[in-house]
């Protein structure tokens, strides 16, 4: 009697355990049952905001649920990233994470409050945009080789702007100076707007900045574009050479952005979101809009995106060690 009861209970336990994955999949199948929020850890108008709004609008249509974009600027992206890291792992709070908060901040910010490689699941890379090395139209150099010669002839005489310490533009310029073996002076600003104003006024000699921010000024003849920071040229401006082909092979520093979910988010939800984002990126209108800003658009899996983020983190960790850059 006891044996029959024992084995009966054991059979029920085994059956229950076997059904748990099915129950989980059933729950995931109800997703999304309410609005989704994409947190952008910067103010409206930046590259990450563009990525989030392009994807969010179409994602809402495809999933038949509202997708809200919530801008939470502060602490060089850390404020918004912390909010998502501490959110429920149910797929309803996502992060449009970019180069800074996901690959750089860990090495330059004290008491960050989150671990970008442990507290998130990579969902999908949305875009990988180049930075354009721009200079005043009347600058004494037209190529990277010209810049190098001038910087070596007059060490410390050339200045480069950035949107702030440890921002992607600062890191790209520091990596370029390191590769060219030249001494240049960093001038940090509190945003790209102020830096652009001083670049146009000739108060600084160069600035690594997004294509969307600088190309209108280049077209107007007020600035000139020396090179782009990505390994390949921009589709929309193929006449601008890359830094890599201008004397620094392997140079690759970009402003990328993608969707991340809190760690522990079910794989079924991550895979669904990845599938939908890739479908959106394949739409001609979305692809054209991203490529107009120089962004590379490519299909990717969560595993491929996670591998990309890890490689980026390793690259920036090495650069920070070599240069001593900090966010302070």
Q: Is the pLDDT of residue 15 over 70?
A: no
pLDDT in tens, 63-108: 999 999 999 988 888 999 999 999 999 999 999 999 999 999 999 9
Q: Is the pLDDT of residue 176 over 90?
A: yes
Task: Enumerate the domain spans of the chain.
Answer: 28-129+254-323, 130-246
Q: Is the pLDDT of residue 208 over 80?
A: yes
pLDDT range class, residue 291, cuts 50, 70, 90 = confident
pLDDT in tens, 273-283: 999 999 999 99
The CATH architecture to which 28-129+254-323 belongs is 3-Layer(aba) Sandwich (3.40)
Q: Is the pLDDT of residue 24 over 50?
A: no
pLDDT range class, residue 22, cuts 50, 70, 90 = very low
Q: Span 130-246: which CATH code?
A: 3.40.190.10
Two tokens, residue 1: 């009697």
Say yes or no: do domains 28-129+254-323 and 130-246 share a fold: yes
């Amino acid at each position: 009697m006891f044996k029959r009861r024992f084995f009966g209970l054991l059979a029920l336990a085994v059956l229950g355990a076997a059904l748990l994955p099915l129950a989980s999949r059933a729950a995931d199948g109800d997703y999304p049952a309410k609005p989704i929020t994409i947190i952008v850890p910067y103010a409206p108008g930046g590259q990450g905001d563009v990525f989030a709004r392009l994807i969010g609008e179409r994602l809402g249509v495809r999933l038949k649920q509202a997708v809200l974009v919530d801008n939470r600027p502060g602490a060089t992206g850390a404020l918004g990233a912390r909010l998502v890291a501490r959110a429920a792992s149910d797929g309803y709070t996502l992060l449009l994470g970019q180069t800074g908060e996901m690959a750089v901040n860990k090495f330059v910010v004290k008491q960050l409050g989150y671990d970008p490689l442990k507290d998130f699941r990579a969902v999908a890379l949305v875009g990988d945009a180049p930075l354009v090395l721009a200079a005043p139209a009347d600058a004494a150099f037209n190529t990277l080789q010209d810049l190098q010669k001038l910087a070596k002839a007059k060490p410390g005489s050339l200045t480069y702007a950035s949107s702030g310490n440890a921002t992607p533009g600062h890191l790209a310029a520091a990596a370029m100076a390191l590769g060219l073996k030249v001494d240049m002076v960093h001038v940090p600003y509190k945003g790209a707007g102020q830096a652009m104003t001083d670049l146009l006024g000739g108060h600084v000699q160069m600035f690594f900045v997004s294509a969307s921010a600088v190309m209108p000024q280049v077209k107007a003849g007020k600035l000139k574009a020396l090179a782009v920071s990505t390994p390949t040229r921009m589709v929309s401006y193929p006449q601008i050479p890359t830094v890599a082909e201008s004397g620094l092979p392997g140079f690759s520093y970009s402003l990328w952005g993608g969707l991340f979910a809190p760690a522990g988010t079910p794989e079924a939800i991550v895979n669904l979101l990845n599938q939908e984002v890739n479908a959106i990126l394949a739409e001609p209108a979305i692809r054209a809009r991203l490529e107009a800003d120089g962004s590379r658009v490519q299909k990717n899996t969560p595993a491929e995106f996670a591998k990309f983020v890890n490689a980026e983190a390793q690259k920036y960790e090495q650069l920070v060690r070599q240069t001593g850059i900090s966010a302070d």
